[in-house]
Amino acid sequence: TQLLEQSPQFLSIQEGENLTVYCNSSSVFSSLQWYRQEPGEGPVLLVTVVTGGEVKKLKRLTFQFGDARKDSSLHITAAQPGDTGLYLCAGSTRNTGKLIFGQGTTLQVKP
Amino acid sequence: KAGVTQTPRYLIKTRGQQVTLSCSPISGHRSVSWYQQTPGQGLQFLFEYFSETQRNKGNFPGRFSGRQFSNSRSEMNVSTLELGDSALYLCASSRDITSGANVLTFGAGSRLTVL
């Protein structure tokens, strides 16, 4: 059974702090995606990484895919209250609609 | 362009009843996937349909079923509802590509409460 473990599960920080969320698995994924979900809404895709060692930046967010394609991290620099939400990593082994999701990291950024 | 539309957004049912949820994908998207989201289990894959055929299935009992129509719209049905079926049911659509990563666009979900 493929599993994705995210850590930490909960994170409460002050505005301006940096943080990193981790997503780990014993399985190899062909691609890994990060989503953010706000209350009452569905997850919204932030980024997709497909190459081992790949690093992608989206403004203050930096995403990294592990060399072995088993793990990923999301780093947020100078967090803002608007970053508050549930962050989900999701892995895929085939080009289908079946994604394996991590449990999610609930981030609260206090002003 | 219009996003993924799910109806109804909220519904309340009692144990033993059945429920049908609907999903209209983004125009041109032929793949529709369904997920169940609960606080304890997170997002769990239910099934995926492509061109009216179930292509993948998660580990849910037979009470959970779905179908896809020729216009790519999809429905899922849960029969003999149990308290544990209370959840946010999310539908996602994608274009279905043959290389690279398939990007899913999620709807806002249908929140089911079973009393």
Contact: A95, B96; criterion CB under 8 Å: yes
pLDDT, tens digit, 9 for 90 and up, residues A34-77 = 999 998 899 999 999 989 999 999 999 999 999 999 999 999 99
Q: How far apart are CA A87 and CA A44, in angstroms?
A: 10
Task: Identify the band that residue A1 occupies on the pLDDT scale cut at 50, 70 and 90.
Answer: low
Q: What is the pLDDT of residue A2?
A: 67
Each residue's pLDDT, cut to its tens digit, for chain B (115 residues) gives 579 999 999 999 999 999 999 999 999 899 999 999 998 888 999 999 999 999 889 999 999 999 999 999 999 999 999 999 999 999 999 886 655 567 889 999 999 999 9
Q: How far apart are CA A95 and CA A110, in angstroms?
A: 38
Chain A interface disruption, residue of B104, B105, B106, most A CBs within 10 A = B104
Contact: A97, B97; criterion CB under 8 Å: no
Chain A segment 65-94 residues within 8 A of B by beta carbon are: 88, 90, 92
Instruction: Give the residue from B100, B103, B96 showing the smallest Cα distance to B68.
Output: B96
Cβ contacts of residue A6 below 8 Å, gap of 6+?
A: A21, A22, A23, A24, A87, A88, A89, A102, A103, A104, A105
